[in-house]
Amino acid sequence: MSLQELSEQEILRRESLQKLRQLGIDPYPAALYPVDAFAAQIKDNFEDGKQVCLAGRMLSQRIMGKASFAEIQDASGRIQVYFNRDELCPTEDKTLYNEVFKKLLDLGDFLGVKGYVFKTQVGEISVHVTEFQLLSKSLRPLPLPKTDASGVVHDAFTDPELRYRQRYVDLVVNRQVKDVFIKRTKLFNAMRDFFNRAGYMEVETPILQAIPGGASARPFITHHNALDIPLYMRIANELYLKRLIVGGFDGVYEFSKNFRNEGMDRTHNPEFTAMEIYVAYKDYNWMMEFTEQLLEHCAMAVNGTTIATFGEHTIDFKAPYKRVTMRQAIIDFTGFDIHQKTEEELRSAAQSMGIEVDQSMGKGKLIDEIFGEKCEGNYIQPTFITDYPKEMSPLCKVHRDDSSLTERFELMVCGKEVANAYSELNDPIDQRERFEEQLKLQERGDDEAMFIDQDFLRALEYGMPPTSGLGIGMDRLIMYLTNNPSIQEVLFFPQMRPEIQSSKVQLNDTEGAILKMVQEQKQIELSTLRAAFDISNKLWDTSLKTLTKNQLVSVFKEQDTLIVKIVG
């Protein structure tokens, strides 16, 4: 990168860097800095005169001649520090203060300071610096929001694109963003803690899978060179966890990064995190109780209360949660009873509710549409919706009282699914038939029907104990617990389109002339173009290569003739 491409401020910071080196100051020292205090802790337990050593980024500087204030931000928060020229430079040489501190340090630099705690005349807890050291120089200016006396933030760094692409900057200047991710980690820790105390085991299963099973979704595909086979990024880990139950573990869980090659929006990212847990000898009734206990525990651990605010809604994760069968839910909101209705009856009922239907929809799909359209959005408080139609749930055990239903529940919060659980299907023959039905759906054109995993069926044939499994969308859950309506806000690095490098290409005269000629003709035969320039073969070759490399023109073959064409 040439200096001309840098902004004025970046050039100045690079110059400061050089001046520091000339003064014998290493802007990137190697030695550890003996930090023994943190900003928040100093402010929470004020001890006048206490010696402290802390480090962090300098985010503001208020220079008043021979004395100055600055703010240092460490991992815990910010604290004001006080610099006094004649204390830092007791001799005639005032370079350290006048040059280094006042001129060569910039906002964003990492500083280590030693000093003692005191309160200023205005009463702000601060550190009186007796010694300071540059720990790392920052070469780019940070966006610096300011908060005024009434707490209003000015010049906030808010552009979502910049915030997501440069999350490191977002985290430095936006405290509330950091808090979201701290809560995210608290949630994971709380869940682990809950499961571990119950005696269940955290496990790891393959992310690269030969058969992407356990859910209905389009997978990412990749290739293993040594085996020369396609491999898929997992869309779910369910079938592997069940294999472990077959293997004799009582309870296994995994926080699973899953990958789905589908659309992105406010609630979907191509990679997302699910938690799945499988417990032997349990059913979905047990799992409902377990789930409500779990979520109450997690809400407390994250927010210190079971109450959470999400947009206009106030939700309470305190157990127990209401339980409503899907049949009852539909009766409640439409007056229509789906029990023992034929496909045709369901279709006309759906139609009369103003739902778009078509002939490819089976019973399960129709019921799902009615529920999704008329009921789902009404469940704001955590509610278990139970007993889903069989067609929707190929991995779930048939309901003990009604063979058209399955023992499945979903937990709805704010009208969206947060968790999904089954009494797991462990009858290998039934499971094979269900997979085969999926295959038929696939043949009918349903491109999201499940693949058949023969090895999983083999495992089931050896016998899997009755088991209940639960999956929780971790990203969605943390959205609710932190009042964030978009998944990008709870992922450190949400997927974005790649940044385009808008580096301007510098062309020499020959390259410019060639480009101009091609531009005039849109496309031109290579031989004609070559003949138009009286230059050496070598110059011709390098010029054309520069143009193609920078994707200004492309060369292609059409019936043995080489054509040069403008790109774009």
Partner RNA sequence: GAUUCCGUAGCUCAGCUGGUAGAGCAAUACACUUUUAAUGUAUGGGCCCUGGGUUCGAAUCCCAGCGGAAUCACCA
218-277: contacts with RNA (CB under 7 A): 218, 260, 262-263, 265-266, 268
Q: Out of 197, 223, 504, 549, point to the residue binding RNA (CB under 7 A).
A: 504
Q: Out of 14, 41, 43, 141, point to the residue binding RNA (CB under 7 A).
A: 141
Confirm or reject binding of residue 372 to RNA (CB under 7 A): yes
Comparing CA positions, the residue from 72, 77, 82 lying closest to residue 43 is 77
Residues 88-127 that bind RNA (CB under 7 A): 103, 106-107, 118, 120-124, 126
What SS3 state is found at 335? coil
CB of 48 to RNA, least distance (A): 12
By CB under 7 A, the count of residues binding RNA is: 75
Q: Work out the burial of residue 352: count CB atoms within 10 Å of its CB; fewer than 13 is exposed, 13-18 middle, 19 or more buried.
A: exposed
Angle between helices 474-482 and 284-303 (to 10 degrees): 40
Confirm or reject binding of residue 440 to RNA (CB under 7 A): no
Q: Out of 26, 44, 93, 155, point to the residue binding RNA (CB under 7 A).
A: 155
Confirm or reject binding of residue 512 to RNA (CB under 7 A): no
Helix H or strand E segment including 133: strand 125-136
* Rg of the Cα atoms in the chain: 32
Q: Which is nearer to RNA, 16 or 467 (CB)?
A: 16
Confirm or reject binding of residue 444 to RNA (CB under 7 A): no
User: What mask, x for binding RNA by CB under 7 A, covers residues 44 to 83?
Assistant: ----------------xxxxxxxx-x----------x-x-
368/306 Cα distance (integer angstroms): 30
What SS3 state is found at 342? coil
Q: Which is nearer to RNA, 419 or 459 (CB)?
A: 419
CB of 54 to RNA, least distance (A): 16
Q: Out of 38, 132, 157, 310, point to the residue binding RNA (CB under 7 A).
A: 157
Residue count (the chain): 568
Residue with tokens 């405290």: 175
Confirm or reject binding of residue 85 to RNA (CB under 7 A): yes
Confirm or reject binding of residue 144 to RNA (CB under 7 A): yes
Other Cβ atoms less than 10 A from the Cβ of 166: the count is 15
Confirm or reject binding of residue 217 to RNA (CB under 7 A): yes
User: What mask, x for binding RNA by CB under 7 A, covers residues 303 to 322?
Assistant: --------------------
CB contact at 8 A, 294 and 302: no
CB of 265 to RNA, least distance (A): 5
557/176 Cα distance (integer angstroms): 56
Which amino acid, one-letter code, is at 260?
R
440/447 Cα distance (integer angstroms): 11
Other Cβ atoms less than 10 A from the Cβ of 317: the count is 25
What SS3 state is found at 387? coil
Q: Which is nearer to RNA, 79 or 190 (CB)?
A: 79
CB of 541 to RNA, least distance (A): 27
**Which residues, 6+ apart, have CB-to-CB distance to 358 below 8 Å?**
none
Confirm or reject binding of residue 355 to RNA (CB under 7 A): no
523/553 Cα distance (integer angstroms): 9
Q: Which is nearer to RNA, 318 or 416 (CB)?
A: 416
- Beta strands in 396-436, from DSSP E residues, in sequence order: 408-413, 416-423
Strand partners, 74: 77
What SS3 state is found at 480? helix
Q: Which is nearer to RNA, 102 or 530 (CB)?
A: 102
Confirm or reject binding of residue 296 to RNA (CB under 7 A): no
Confirm or reject binding of residue 532 to RNA (CB under 7 A): no
Confirm or reject binding of residue 164 to RNA (CB under 7 A): yes
**Which residues, 6+ apart, have CB-to-CB distance to 265 below 8 Å?**
none
Q: Out of 159, 193, 344, 461, point to the residue binding RNA (CB under 7 A).
A: 159
Only one of the segments 135-143, 325-333, 382-390, 547-555 lies at the binding site for RNA (rule: CB under 7 A); that segment is 135-143
Q: Out of 28, 44, 146, 532, point to the residue binding RNA (CB under 7 A).
A: 146
Confirm or reject binding of residue 455 to RNA (CB under 7 A): no
Q: Out of 45, 51, 95, 158, point to the residue binding RNA (CB under 7 A).
A: 158
Task: Name all contacts of 24-28 with Cβ < 8 Å and 24+ positions apart.
Answer: 25/100, 25/134, 26/134, 27/134, 27/136, 27/137, 28/136, 28/137
